[in-house]
Structure 1
Amino acid sequence: MSEQKRSPKSRGYEMQKRAEDVQRTRQRIVEAAVHLHETAGPAWTSISAIAARAGVTRLTVYRHFPDETALFEACSGHWLSRQRPPRPEEWGAIEDPLERLTAGLADMYRFYREGEQMLTLVIRDQHAVPESVREAWEERTRQYAEVLANAWPEADAPVLRAVIGHAVAFSTWRSLCREQGLRDREAVEFMVTLAVAVGSKS
């Protein structure tokens, strides 16, 4: 059937189908990149490997994602959409500083445990992560620490802020719970106790 003989409805259907095919291809690329980041790590994930897993060519990958930053941002968003990120809007509403810190750290440590494999490899391979993606992660972590610190009367005390900043770091959770064998609850209690000791001296 020639272009002239096709009805507007037929052309509209074909355009919609092409758009859906493009979106499905893009999704396969993103899912392939997420899988490789989570199993091999960003530093060991090449465009060729992503293309092979997604069943497309390298050119197709670049057509959808012209640079690494665009691909990383899409991967980060897709991975986070499948997680249960920390909810600072919930524990930030708790007025008591100890209760807020306990709730916040429990929420963050739960997230760290659930996302441990990806977070471990991404942090290990930070040198291969685009700067904008690293900065976004660091900014989120700073915001979590800010919400927790602001509940304390001694909120401006540098040492207290340092302790809370240390407490919210993924590396702290990993050290306490993976390397030292504490359970999440025990790690939370330890960091809260440390914050109380520091806060009382501020």
Structure 2
Amino acid sequence: APLLADKLIEPGNIVIDVKTGISGAGRGGDSKFGYAESNENLVPYGLLRHTHMPEIARTIEQLSGGSAAGLVFTPHLVPMTRGILATIYCRGRASTGQCLDAARRFYAGRAFVRVTDKPPQTKWATGSNLAFVSYAADPERNLVIAMGVVDNLGKGAAGQAVQNANLICGLPETAGLDGLPVWP
């Protein structure tokens, strides 16, 4: 988002590769998300028409003013219970420093976003409402890689619901959500 807002990347050629723990793929009667099927396995799902594609495309277009026509989003189920790591490949001539600076400005004052110099790891967010973001860029190759990590059971729907309820009720945004992450 910060890179789109600052026009540091091209909106029409974004590839999003997501690794998600079993709990991030949803629940239901389908046994494909059971332990026996997930253990020692890596499975892509929601290919080409994932349920989140329209909202991702809409956000890209709103932030950039351009088209998200070349958007690719592929989540992969990994054999861990919780956590999501998104690696996003973009075209742009920005440096890593420019990307980090844009993110620090964009997320300034956001209680739960941490911009890091190192690539984030899922363990960092475990049991928290935190989101960790970082970047790696090679302007000579016209390549920017954005990375983000959340605990989908913390920052996921439950954390978002509490955060929104706090705002609606006039409570501090962080009420009930600012505990320490569960790591190691």
TM-score, normalised relative to structure 1: 0.23
Higher CA-based Rg: 1
The structure richer in strand per residue is 2
